[in-house]
């Protein structure tokens, strides 16, 4: 999969180093969930997140080539 923000190829098991999984519930701000190293790990953690309530979008933030953090993947329905 190519992420629109970075144009970087990411597979389920691509090592992203220390990326951040952030939950963004539709009803409130955001909540850091965990550090993750792959998209697969982010999906597993999002699916098992016991704090999830209602419609929650999970975003994976990873460091880009210029050192800034950008959203590289979104998980809309973590139960899948």
Give yes or no for a contact between 45 and 73, defined as CB atoms under 8 angstroms apart.
no
Instruction: With a cut of 70, list the residues of the chain below it in pLDDT.
Output: 1-8, 52-53, 80
pLDDT for the residue 7: 52
pTM across the whole model: 0.81
Domain boundaries, the chain: 19-75
User: Which positions ≥6 away from 54 have C-beta within 8 Å?
Assistant: 25, 26, 27
Query: Long-range contacts: 40-44, Cβ < 8 Å, 24+?
Result: 40/12, 40/13, 42/73, 42/75, 43/12, 43/75, 43/78
Evaluated on CA atoms 29, 34, 35, 40, the torsion sign reads negative
């Amino acid at each position: 999969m190519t992420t629109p923000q970075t144009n970087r190829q990411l597979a389920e098991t691509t090592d992203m180093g220390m990326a951040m999984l952030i939950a963004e519930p539709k009803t409130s701000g955001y909540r850091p969930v965990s550090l993750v190293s792959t998209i697969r790990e982010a999906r597993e953690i999002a699916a098992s997140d016991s704090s999830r309530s209602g419609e929650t979008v999970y975003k994976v933030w990873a460091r880009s080539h210029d050192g800034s953090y950008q959203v590289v993947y979104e998980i809309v329905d973590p139960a899948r």
